[in-house]
Amino acid sequence: MADVLDLDAEVVGPYLDELTSWAATHTKAEPLTVLDVGAGTGTGTLALARRFGNAELIVIDRSPTMLERLQAAAAAQGIADRLRTAQADLDTGWPAVGTADLAWASSSLHHVADPGRVLADIHAALNPGGLLVVVEMDGMPRFLPDGVYPGLEERCRQAAADNGWNSWPDWTGHLERAGFTVAEKRVFDLDIHPAPPAANRLAHRITSRMRERLADQLSAEDRADLDRLLDPEGKEFLLRRADLVVRGARTAWAAHRA
* Residue 21 identity: S
Going across the sheet that includes 180-192, the strands are 83-87, 56-61, 33-37, 100-106, 126-137, 246-257, 180-192
From CA 49, how far away is CA 37, in angstroms rounded?
A: 15
DSSP classification of residue 155:
H
Identify the three-state secondary structure at position 52.
coil
Rounded to the nearest 5 percent, the helix, strand and coil shares of the chain are 45, 25, 35
Neighbour tally for 218: CB within 10 Å: 18
For the chain, first and last CA: distance in Å?
36
Report the CATH superfamily, name and number, of domain 2-257: Vaccinia Virus protein VP39 (3.40.50.150)
Q: Whats the size of the chain, residue-wise?
A: 258
pLDDT value of position 4: 76
- For the chain, the C-alpha Rg in angstroms (whole number) is 19
Give the angle 240-245-248 at the CA atoms, nearest 5°: 135
Nearest CA to 22 among 161, 158, 153, 131?
131
pLDDT value of position 143: 96
pLDDT in tens, the chain (258 residues): 667 777 877 788 778 999 999 999 999 999 999 999 999 888 899 999 999 999 999 999 999 999 999 999 999 999 999 999 999 999 999 999 999 999 999 999 999 999 999 999 999 999 999 999 999 988 788 999 999 999 999 999 999 988 888 789 999 999 999 999 999 999 999 999 889 999 999 999 999 999 999 989 999 999 999 999 999 999 999 999 999 999 999 999 999 998
